[in-house]
Structure 1
Amino acid sequence: MENLSPLVPITEASHGVVIDLIYAGTNNFTGQVIYDSALCFLHPLADAGLCKAIAAAKSMGFQLKIFDAFRPQEAQEALWAVAPNPAYIADPAKGSNHTRGVALDVTLLAPDGQELDMGTPVDTMSSASHHFHATHPVSIQLNRMKLLTIMLEAGFVHHPNEWWHYQLPDARQFPLIDSHAFMRCKSAQATPA
């Protein structure tokens, strides 16, 4: 039977990644729990790109860590309510590429499991988080370039203001995924086959 789900579940076991969905806890710029569960999903085409990125990272001795992937519309509205800054948060009235399931926030882990130093924590809303911020030392620039290379070769494009954010090209061609479809995906993930 054909899978009609608009989203593919991403797990540590199935994908060999580390998942730390920051909006499922309070360790994010809002200081609030935004997601009611720590389930991670992506559009099937984004999942295919993620699998390529995972393999590329592994070949370089790294592992991917995912901070965010699909984001429900209600969560986008909650983030916008705290920080209505379109340089970093998509206006929910226009739609986020996370809500299309084609964007993800990631970093690289070294072989010892530690995050590579990217110069700022994820979700830092300042020029220091801009991908090519010139005042960072060479080591940080190189770490960001490693992540950029892996993700670009996997078919993603980067967000210039957020070193951690990658999405499929022409992301706006993908429809926003409504809450009903997302709830069906969550239910399917929570109910083992």
Structure 2
Amino acid sequence: MALVEITPQEYDVEIDIVYATDRNFTGAPIYTRPACYLHADAAKCLKKASAMARRQGVKLRILDAFRPQEAQRALWNHSPNPDFVANPDFGSPHGRGVAIDLTLIDQNGKELDMGAGFDEMHIRSYHGSDLISKQAEANRFLLLGIMVSS
């Protein structure tokens, strides 16, 4: 598997790897450093998505990307809920470098309202949730459109 390092300069993104901090659902760092990697094919798509986001007046903030097996195991051991955390015994898209957790930010670096926080294990987090505001729904559709088109 060929992984590519994602940098803010090359990909025109902001990177805030939450699992390298205590600002995640475990309350403790899972990674020893805030590195960001993707499979080469996913990295190409990310470049397209970043350019498309810029044309919409927003920017991508990456919160997680490639996730080593031991990190996935730590997340599962903390919260073994298959609705929100992949069972490491079956692998995960993050473990192959083909999944990315991200959001949109405005020109001032403020996150757009998506209706739920990062890793919020609640039905509000589901794509089709009707428990979020119309603005959050519009922001989700904007992000979805950017990602699907890329």
Out of 20, 27, 30, which is 1:31 matched to? 27
Residue identity in the other structure for 1:72: P
* Aligned pair partner of 1:76 in 72, 75, 79: 72
Q: The residue matched to 2:96 in structure 1 has which SS?
A: coil
- Supply the distance in 2 between the matched residues of 1:6 and 1:74 (Cα, whole angstroms): 19
Which residue in the other structure is 1:18 paired with?
14
Give the number of the structure whose alpha-carbon radius of gyration is greater: 1
| Structure 2 residue 127 is matched with structure 1 residue 95 | no
Q: Name the amino acid aligned to 1:121.
A: G
1:137: Cα distance to partner?
A: 1.6
Q: 1:52 aligns with which of 48, 53, 59?
A: 48
| Letter paired with 2:93 | N
Measured against aligned partners, the alpha-carbon deviations of 1:107-158 in whole angstroms (never above 9, x if no partner) come to 001122110001111100110111111121211110110000000101xxxx
Partner of 1:141: 137
Q: Which runs of 4+ in 1 moved over 2 A?
A: none
Q: Partner letter of residue 24 of structure 1?
A: A
Q: Who is 2:39 aligned against?
A: 43
Which runs of no fewer than 5 residues in structure 2 stay unpaired?
none
User: Which residue in 1 is equivalent to 2:111?
Assistant: 115
Q: Distance in 1 between matches of 2:96 and 2:63?
A: 16
Tell me the SS of whatever aligns to 2:90. Answer: coil
Deviation sequence 1:89-113 (CA, Å, 0-9, x none): 1100000110000000010011221
Superimposed CA distance per residue, residues 137-181 of structure 1 (whole angstroms, 9 cap, x where no aligned partner):
211110110000000101xxxxxxxxxxxxxxxxxxxxxxxxxxx
Q: Is residue 64 of structure 1 aligned with residue 79 of structure 2?
A: no
Q: CA RMSD in A?
A: 0.9
> What count of residue pairs does the alignment treat as equivalent?
150
Match of 1:124 among 109, 120, 133: 120
SS at match of 2:142: helix
TM-score normalised by the chain length of structure 2: 0.98
Whole-Å separation in 1 of the counterparts to 2:11 and 2:116: 26
**SS at 2:101 equivalent:** strand
- In structure 2, the residue matched to 1:169 is none
> Distance between the aligned counterparts of 1:111 and 1:37, measured in 2?
27
